[in-house]
Amino acid sequence: MEARAIILGAGAAGLFCAGGIGAGAVVIDHADAPGEKIRISGGGRCNFTNLRTGPENFLSENRHFHKSALAGFTPHDFLALVEGAGIAWHEKAAGQLFCDGRAGQIVTMLVERARRAGAELRLGTRITGCRHDGTAFAVATEGGVIRAPVLVVATGGRSIPRMGATGLGHDLARQFGLRVTALRPALVPFTFSDNPFAALAGVSLPVRVRVRGGRAQFDEAMLFTHRGLSGPAMLQISSYWREGEEIAVDLAPGRDLRAHLRDARALAPRRSAATLLADILPQRLVQHLARHLARHLAPDPDLDLGDALGTIPDRRFEDIARALHDFRLRPTGTEGYRTAEVTLGGVDTRDLSSRSMAAQGVPGLYFIGECVDVTGWLGGYNFQWAWASAHAAARAIAGR
Ligand SMILES: Cc1cc2nc3c(=O)[nH]c(=O)nc-3n(C[C@H](O)[C@H](O)[C@H](O)COP(=O)(O)OP(=O)(O)OC[C@H]3O[C@@H](n4cnc5c(N)ncnc54)[C@H](O)[C@@H]3O)c2cc1C
């Protein structure tokens, strides 16, 4: 079969690109249903964009690469499509847009847009090989060979293999002579060997968290789990963390704990530090800290959070405040690709055009979406990259 363009992957980027190219585009995916990650995204409501999207919300070895595509297709452009399809939405946290109803509405919108434009979807189709035969790309599938002068690779990253993620995009990049940067799971919970926080599983906190050296900082919620730490703050910082590094957590951001303890001592000297802290922090966490005082409030092994405030000198308030505002943790690892929301790294942007996503030196070959070395923060940025990079490629392909 001959096509105008072959798109590998019927996920966010592939479907959106198909709608932009239209007639003659054939989308191939080994999954039986399109857009499976969209369907489960945002807790089933799909955080489909972020109105505050800026280049600073992305990680890439080239921090300028994504600017052009993001400027060419903005969150408002995608929102216009969502509204045009009659999909009700709401803004949850600052700038984060979610569907009011099920995330499947976005999939339906993308599939209908692609089909209306004349693109064809071949789902449940295993790809057995891919090469350039001198005049066109030839993709071998169980259903036969499809040839086209254009090949768009939109097969995503390696996260969540049980949902069909594979390394095909990265393998194809290497096959055609493109470089691939180091890959690692990102937006992923941390694990600890012999998790010291297991007893706190389920406790959540509004925290400020940063990685050592202040390379990145996020003010978001954190959650203790049976295996370690999760919640938006931990997922965000996981993209910046490297094995062996410490993370520092401010357990009481925006408060001056030292002054708070001192003021409380003046008012109620017989009250214990532990009961005072339990006004600010979850009781279970305070109990845990009290039990592990020697380890976590190391400066003073004699210090007991059960002591009356009136018996605690100022310098010990300082120790307590420092320990809670700068709570140091050294994760053993992460949950890995099994649960990571995205893959950090990908096709090296030095080998792609930032305007069109076209591969340098291989005419007709494009890489879009998560398989490229552009990774967004949590909060709708990854879908915005999928739409924007797909739009850039579709525009270039339509104008060929
Ligand atoms: C649980 C979860 C929740 C998320 N929530 C959000 C959110 O709310 N907001 C946000 O912005 N981002 C979210 N993300 C990230 C977002 O889903 C991805 O960044 C986005 O889907 C990437 O789009 P893509 O088209 O590049 O890849 P994908 O959407 O992953 O699509 C890739 C497609 O390629 C197909 N494919 C892969 N390998 C092969 C192969 N060998 N042969 C044939 N087909 C293949 C796959 O089946 C898939 O359909 C979430 C991710 C996860 C895992």
- The total number of residues shown for the chain amounts to 400
Q: H helices within the chain, ranges in order?
A: 12-21, 36-40, 67-72, 75-84, 104-116, 168-175, 232-238, 257-267, 273-277, 283-291, 293-296, 314-325, 381-398
C-alpha to C-alpha distance for 347 and 82, rounded to whole angstroms: 29
Instruction: Indicate where the chain has its CATH 1.10.8 domain(s).
Output: 257-326
**Which CATH number does 257-326 carry?**
1.10.8
Model confidence at 316: pLDDT above 80: yes
Listed in sequence order, the residues at least 6 apart from 194 whose beta carbon sits closer than 8 Å to its beta carbon are none
Q: Where in the chain is the domain with CATH 3.50.50.60?
A: 5-184+343-398
pLDDT band (50, 70, 90) for residue 157: very high
Q: In which band, very low, low, confident or very high, does the pLDDT at 289 lie, cut at 50, 70 and 90?
A: confident
DSSP 276: H
CATH class of 5-184+343-398: alpha beta
Q: Is a pLDDT exceeding 60 seen at residue 298?
A: no
CATH 2.40.30.10 domain span(s) along the chain: 186-252+330-334
The pLDDT of residue 359: 98
User: How far, in Å, is the centroid of ligand 1 from the Cα of 199?
Assistant: 34
| pLDDT of 283 | 86
Report pLDDT for 83.
Answer: 98
Q: How confident is the model over 101-110, as a mean pLDDT?
A: 98
138 Cα to the center of ligand 1, angstroms: 24
As beta bridge partners, residue 141 has 127, 144
Q: Is 61 exposed, middle or buried (0-12, 13-18, 19+ CB in 10 A)?
A: middle
Does residue 256 carry a pLDDT above 90? yes
CA separation for the pair 282, 277 (Å, rounded): 8
Question: What predicted TM-score, i.e. pTM, was given to this entire model?
Answer: 0.95
CATH 2.40.30.10 fits 186-252+330-334, yes or no: yes
Q: Is the pLDDT of residue 10 over 60?
A: yes
Name every protein residue with a CB atom under 6 angstroms from any ligand 1 atom. 9-14, 29-31, 36-37, 40-42, 46-47, 127, 154-156, 159-160, 164-166, 168, 341-342, 369-370, 380-383, 386
Report how far Cα 288 is from the mean position of its chain's Cα atoms.
30
Which residue has better confidence, 301 or 73?
73
Contact call for residues 345 and 183 (beta carbons, < 8 A): yes
Most informative mutation of 98, 139, 341, 368 for ligand 1 (most atoms within 8 A of CB)? 341
The C-alpha angle with vertex 23 and arms to 18 and 27, in degrees rounded to 5, equals 40
Which segment of 224-233, 261-270, 284-293, 379-388 scores lowest on mean pLDDT?
A: 284-293
